Amino acid sequence: MSSRLTQVRDWTSGYTTKPSSSRRRILPQRFFGSYSEARFWSVLEQFVPRKKGQLALEIGCAPGGNLHQLARQFDCVPHGVDFSGAGVDRTRQNFRDWGYVPENVICADAFDDGFQQSVSGKFDVVLSRGLIEHFTEMPPVIDAHLGPLRGGGLLIVTIPNYRWLNYAVGWLTIRDSYPLHNFAIMDSSRFSGLFESPQLETLRCEYLGGFDFGMFDDGAHTGVLWLWRRLQAALNLSFRVLPPPELRFTSPQLVYIGRKVSFSGATQ
Protein backbone atom coordinates (compact mmCIF):
# COMPACT_ATOMS: atom_id res chain seq x y z
CA MET A 1 0.00 0.00 0.00
CA SER A 2 1.34 3.43 -0.93
CA SER A 3 0.16 4.82 2.42
CA ARG A 4 2.44 2.47 4.39
CA LEU A 5 4.92 4.28 6.65
CA THR A 6 7.02 1.17 7.38
CA GLN A 7 8.72 -1.53 5.36
CA VAL A 8 9.54 -5.16 6.13
CA ARG A 9 13.06 -4.16 7.17
CA ASP A 10 11.61 -2.00 9.95
CA TRP A 11 10.17 -5.13 11.58
CA THR A 12 12.83 -7.72 10.80
CA SER A 13 15.72 -6.91 13.15
CA GLY A 14 13.80 -7.66 16.33
CA TYR A 15 13.09 -11.22 15.18
CA THR A 16 16.43 -12.23 13.69
CA THR A 17 18.20 -12.39 17.03
CA LYS A 18 17.47 -14.67 19.95
CA PRO A 19 15.28 -13.02 22.60
CA SER A 20 17.37 -11.63 25.44
CA SER A 21 16.98 -13.22 28.85
CA SER A 22 18.90 -10.46 30.62
CA ARG A 23 15.75 -8.67 31.78
CA ARG A 24 14.33 -11.29 34.09
CA ARG A 25 11.09 -10.49 35.83
CA ILE A 26 11.76 -10.62 39.55
CA LEU A 27 8.70 -8.81 40.88
CA PRO A 28 5.35 -10.67 40.67
CA GLN A 29 3.57 -9.55 37.50
CA ARG A 30 0.17 -9.80 39.15
CA PHE A 31 1.02 -6.69 41.15
CA PHE A 32 3.91 -5.02 39.32
CA GLY A 33 3.28 -5.99 35.68
CA SER A 34 1.89 -3.45 33.22
CA TYR A 35 -1.28 -1.94 34.63
CA SER A 36 -2.34 -0.69 31.20
CA GLU A 37 -2.04 -4.15 29.65
CA ALA A 38 -4.00 -5.68 32.51
CA ARG A 39 -6.61 -2.97 32.05
CA PHE A 40 -6.93 -3.76 28.35
CA TRP A 41 -7.51 -7.46 28.92
CA SER A 42 -9.97 -6.81 31.72
CA VAL A 43 -12.00 -4.55 29.40
CA LEU A 44 -12.14 -7.34 26.81
CA GLU A 45 -13.83 -9.53 29.43
CA GLN A 46 -16.93 -7.38 28.95
CA PHE A 47 -17.20 -8.12 25.23
CA VAL A 48 -15.37 -11.29 24.18
CA PRO A 49 -17.26 -14.46 25.12
CA ARG A 50 -15.53 -17.54 26.46
CA LYS A 51 -16.46 -19.88 23.66
CA LYS A 52 -14.32 -22.89 22.87
CA GLY A 53 -13.40 -23.15 19.22
CA GLN A 54 -14.05 -19.54 18.18
CA LEU A 55 -11.50 -18.34 15.64
CA ALA A 56 -9.31 -15.30 16.27
CA LEU A 57 -7.04 -13.53 13.78
CA GLU A 58 -4.39 -10.97 14.62
CA ILE A 59 -3.17 -8.75 11.78
CA GLY A 60 0.48 -7.94 12.36
CA CYS A 61 0.77 -10.82 14.81
CA ALA A 62 4.48 -11.25 15.54
CA PRO A 63 5.64 -12.50 18.00
CA GLY A 64 2.23 -13.89 19.00
CA GLY A 65 1.81 -12.80 22.61
CA ASN A 66 -1.61 -11.22 22.03
CA LEU A 67 -2.91 -14.39 20.39
CA HIS A 68 -1.55 -16.47 23.26
CA GLN A 69 -3.49 -14.33 25.73
CA LEU A 70 -6.67 -14.51 23.64
CA ALA A 71 -6.41 -18.28 23.51
CA ARG A 72 -5.81 -18.64 27.25
CA GLN A 73 -8.41 -16.12 28.35
CA PHE A 74 -11.24 -16.77 25.88
CA ASP A 75 -10.61 -20.27 24.44
CA CYS A 76 -9.96 -18.83 20.98
CA VAL A 77 -8.20 -20.81 18.27
CA PRO A 78 -5.35 -18.42 17.37
CA HIS A 79 -4.45 -17.42 13.82
CA GLY A 80 -2.09 -14.70 12.69
CA VAL A 81 -0.77 -12.94 9.62
CA ASP A 82 2.40 -10.89 9.31
CA PHE A 83 4.41 -9.63 6.35
CA SER A 84 7.77 -10.09 8.08
CA GLY A 85 9.21 -13.52 7.33
CA ALA A 86 11.43 -13.34 10.40
CA GLY A 87 8.43 -12.33 12.52
CA VAL A 88 6.39 -15.24 11.19
CA ASP A 89 9.23 -17.68 11.94
CA ARG A 90 9.43 -16.41 15.52
CA THR A 91 5.65 -16.61 15.95
CA ARG A 92 5.47 -20.14 14.55
CA GLN A 93 8.16 -21.23 16.98
CA ASN A 94 6.22 -19.63 19.82
CA PHE A 95 3.07 -21.43 18.64
CA ARG A 96 4.92 -24.74 18.81
CA ASP A 97 6.12 -23.96 22.32
CA TRP A 98 2.60 -23.00 23.40
CA GLY A 99 0.93 -26.03 21.81
CA TYR A 100 -0.85 -24.24 18.94
CA VAL A 101 -0.83 -25.11 15.24
CA PRO A 102 2.13 -23.23 13.70
CA GLU A 103 0.56 -23.38 10.24
CA ASN A 104 -2.11 -21.01 11.54
CA VAL A 105 0.50 -18.25 11.22
CA ILE A 106 0.61 -16.98 7.64
CA CYS A 107 3.35 -14.94 6.00
CA ALA A 108 1.44 -12.52 3.80
CA ASP A 109 0.46 -8.91 3.32
CA ALA A 110 -2.94 -8.65 4.99
CA PHE A 111 -3.99 -6.12 2.34
CA ASP A 112 -3.33 -8.51 -0.53
CA ASP A 113 -6.51 -9.49 -2.41
CA GLY A 114 -5.56 -13.16 -2.42
CA PHE A 115 -5.17 -13.25 1.35
CA GLN A 116 -8.40 -11.34 1.89
CA GLN A 117 -10.32 -13.76 -0.32
CA SER A 118 -8.90 -16.77 1.53
CA VAL A 119 -10.06 -15.51 4.95
CA SER A 120 -13.23 -13.63 4.04
CA GLY A 121 -15.87 -13.86 6.78
CA LYS A 122 -14.00 -16.62 8.61
CA PHE A 123 -13.18 -15.18 12.03
CA ASP A 124 -15.12 -14.46 15.21
CA VAL A 125 -12.50 -11.99 16.47
CA VAL A 126 -10.12 -9.81 14.45
CA LEU A 127 -7.44 -7.97 16.40
CA SER A 128 -4.61 -5.58 15.68
CA ARG A 129 -2.46 -3.75 18.18
CA GLY A 130 -0.03 -1.04 17.14
CA LEU A 131 -0.63 -1.55 13.42
CA ILE A 132 -2.94 0.99 11.83
CA GLU A 133 -0.93 4.00 13.02
CA HIS A 134 1.75 2.98 10.52
CA PHE A 135 -0.50 4.01 7.61
CA THR A 136 -1.75 7.33 6.30
CA GLU A 137 -4.74 6.19 4.22
CA MET A 138 -7.17 4.66 6.67
CA PRO A 139 -10.22 3.31 4.75
CA PRO A 140 -8.34 0.41 3.09
CA VAL A 141 -6.73 -0.45 6.43
CA ILE A 142 -10.07 -0.67 8.22
CA ASP A 143 -11.57 -2.63 5.30
CA ALA A 144 -8.74 -5.16 5.61
CA HIS A 145 -9.78 -5.74 9.22
CA LEU A 146 -13.46 -6.09 8.36
CA GLY A 147 -13.01 -8.53 5.47
CA PRO A 148 -11.93 -11.54 7.59
CA LEU A 149 -14.62 -10.85 10.21
CA ARG A 150 -17.92 -12.71 10.15
CA GLY A 151 -21.23 -10.97 10.79
CA GLY A 152 -21.60 -10.53 14.54
CA GLY A 153 -17.86 -10.88 15.09
CA LEU A 154 -15.76 -8.52 17.19
CA LEU A 155 -13.19 -6.04 15.91
CA ILE A 156 -10.53 -4.95 18.41
CA VAL A 157 -7.98 -2.29 17.45
CA THR A 158 -5.49 -0.46 19.63
CA ILE A 159 -2.92 2.20 18.83
CA PRO A 160 -0.36 3.94 21.05
CA ASN A 161 -0.94 7.50 22.19
CA TYR A 162 2.32 9.33 21.52
CA ARG A 163 0.83 12.79 21.93
CA TRP A 164 0.97 15.34 24.77
CA LEU A 165 3.14 14.24 27.73
CA ASN A 166 3.89 10.93 26.04
CA TYR A 167 5.41 12.74 23.08
CA ALA A 168 7.82 14.65 25.30
CA VAL A 169 8.91 11.59 27.28
CA GLY A 170 9.25 9.45 24.17
CA TRP A 171 11.52 12.09 22.61
CA LEU A 172 14.25 10.94 24.99
CA THR A 173 14.39 7.38 23.66
CA ILE A 174 12.22 6.57 20.62
CA ARG A 175 12.01 9.81 18.63
CA ASP A 176 13.75 8.15 15.66
CA SER A 177 10.64 6.02 15.20
CA TYR A 178 8.22 8.96 15.23
CA PRO A 179 8.25 9.37 11.41
CA LEU A 180 6.90 5.80 11.15
CA HIS A 181 3.70 6.80 12.97
CA ASN A 182 0.53 8.61 11.96
CA PHE A 183 0.13 11.03 14.87
CA ALA A 184 -3.06 12.52 13.44
CA ILE A 185 -5.18 9.50 14.42
CA MET A 186 -3.87 9.51 18.01
CA ASP A 187 -6.85 11.59 19.07
CA SER A 188 -10.09 10.10 20.36
CA SER A 189 -12.39 11.91 17.91
CA ARG A 190 -10.18 11.17 14.88
CA PHE A 191 -9.67 7.59 16.02
CA SER A 192 -13.37 6.89 16.56
CA GLY A 193 -14.14 8.44 13.19
CA LEU A 194 -12.09 5.75 11.46
CA PHE A 195 -14.73 3.19 12.40
CA GLU A 196 -17.84 5.11 11.33
CA SER A 197 -19.25 2.49 8.99
CA PRO A 198 -22.64 0.87 8.41
CA GLN A 199 -20.79 -2.41 8.88
CA LEU A 200 -19.83 -1.61 12.47
CA GLU A 201 -21.60 -1.11 15.77
CA THR A 202 -19.25 0.66 18.18
CA LEU A 203 -19.18 -0.92 21.63
CA ARG A 204 -16.32 1.03 23.17
CA CYS A 205 -13.82 3.61 21.96
CA GLU A 206 -11.62 5.52 24.39
CA TYR A 207 -8.24 6.26 25.90
CA LEU A 208 -7.18 3.41 28.16
CA GLY A 209 -4.65 2.92 30.94
CA GLY A 210 -2.41 5.04 33.12
CA PHE A 211 0.91 6.65 32.28
CA ASP A 212 3.32 3.94 31.16
CA PHE A 213 7.09 4.31 30.73
CA GLY A 214 7.03 0.92 28.99
CA MET A 215 5.80 2.45 25.74
CA PHE A 216 9.11 4.33 25.47
CA ASP A 217 11.31 1.33 26.30
CA ASP A 218 13.41 0.38 23.28
CA GLY A 219 15.10 -2.51 25.09
CA ALA A 220 18.39 -0.72 25.63
CA HIS A 221 20.36 -0.97 28.88
CA THR A 222 20.79 2.68 29.80
CA GLY A 223 20.62 4.39 33.17
CA VAL A 224 17.48 6.26 32.12
CA LEU A 225 15.64 3.08 31.15
CA TRP A 226 16.86 1.28 34.28
CA LEU A 227 15.26 4.03 36.35
CA TRP A 228 12.08 4.13 34.23
CA ARG A 229 11.53 0.38 34.59
CA ARG A 230 11.66 0.64 38.35
CA LEU A 231 9.48 3.73 38.47
CA GLN A 232 6.93 1.98 36.27
CA ALA A 233 6.83 -1.06 38.56
CA ALA A 234 5.94 1.30 41.43
CA LEU A 235 3.31 3.04 39.28
CA ASN A 236 1.79 -0.30 38.27
CA LEU A 237 1.31 -1.23 41.91
CA SER A 238 -0.10 2.17 42.86
CA PHE A 239 -2.51 2.16 39.90
CA ARG A 240 -3.91 -1.16 41.08
CA VAL A 241 -4.65 0.41 44.46
CA LEU A 242 -5.93 3.73 43.09
CA PRO A 243 -6.82 3.55 39.37
CA PRO A 244 -5.63 6.63 37.47
CA PRO A 245 -7.86 8.80 35.27
CA GLU A 246 -7.74 7.78 31.61
CA LEU A 247 -6.85 10.95 29.75
CA ARG A 248 -5.55 12.04 26.36
CA PHE A 249 -2.58 13.66 28.12
CA THR A 250 -1.22 10.52 29.80
CA SER A 251 -2.99 7.29 28.73
CA PRO A 252 -0.70 5.08 26.65
CA GLN A 253 -3.26 3.72 24.19
CA LEU A 254 -6.55 4.22 22.40
CA VAL A 255 -8.84 1.22 22.12
CA TYR A 256 -11.69 0.48 19.74
CA ILE A 257 -14.07 -2.45 20.20
CA GLY A 258 -16.90 -2.94 17.73
CA ARG A 259 -19.22 -5.57 16.33
CA LYS A 260 -19.62 -6.28 12.63
CA VAL A 261 -23.22 -5.97 11.58
CA SER A 262 -24.54 -8.85 9.52
CA PHE A 263 -25.87 -8.29 6.01
CA SER A 264 -29.43 -8.55 7.30
CA GLY A 265 -28.81 -5.47 9.45
CA ALA A 266 -28.86 -7.35 12.75
CA THR A 267 -25.99 -8.75 14.72
CA GLN A 268 -25.81 -12.49 15.24
Query: CA triplet 75, 76, 79: central angle to 5 degrees?
Result: 150
241 falls within a domain: yes
Proportion of the chain above pLDDT 70, given as a percent = 91
In-domain check, residue 18:
no
The reply to whether 158 falls in a domain is: yes
Please say whether the beta carbons of 248 and 194 come within 8 A. Answer: no
β-sheet bridge partners, residue 55: 77
Provide the H-helix boundaries in the chain. 9-12, 29-32, 35-44, 65-74, 85-98, 113-119, 138-146, 165-170, 188-193, 223-241
Banded pLDDT at 2 (limits 50, 70, 90): low
In a domain, 157, yes or no: yes
Could you read off the pLDDT of 146-183 as tens digits, one per residue? 999 999 999 999 999 999 999 999 999 999 999 999 99
* Enclosing domain of residue 242: 29-260
List Cβ neighbours of 90 (8 Å cut-off, separation of 6 or more): 15, 62, 63, 64
Measured CA to CA, the distance from residue 75 to residue 125 in angstroms comes to 12
The CATH number of residue 87's host domain is: 3.40.50.150
Q: How many domains does the chain have?
A: 1
Confidence of residue 31 (pLDDT cuts 50, 70, 90): confident
| Per-residue pLDDT tens digits for 198-207 | 999 999 999 9
Amino acid at 70: L
Structural domain contains residue 6 = no
Helix (H/G/I), strand (E/B), else coil: 180 = helix
pLDDT per residue over 195-234, tens digit each? 999 999 999 999 999 999 999 998 888 999 999 999 999 9
Residues linked to residue 127 through DSSP beta bridges, in sequence order: 58, 156
Predicted local confidence at residue 195, as pLDDT: 98
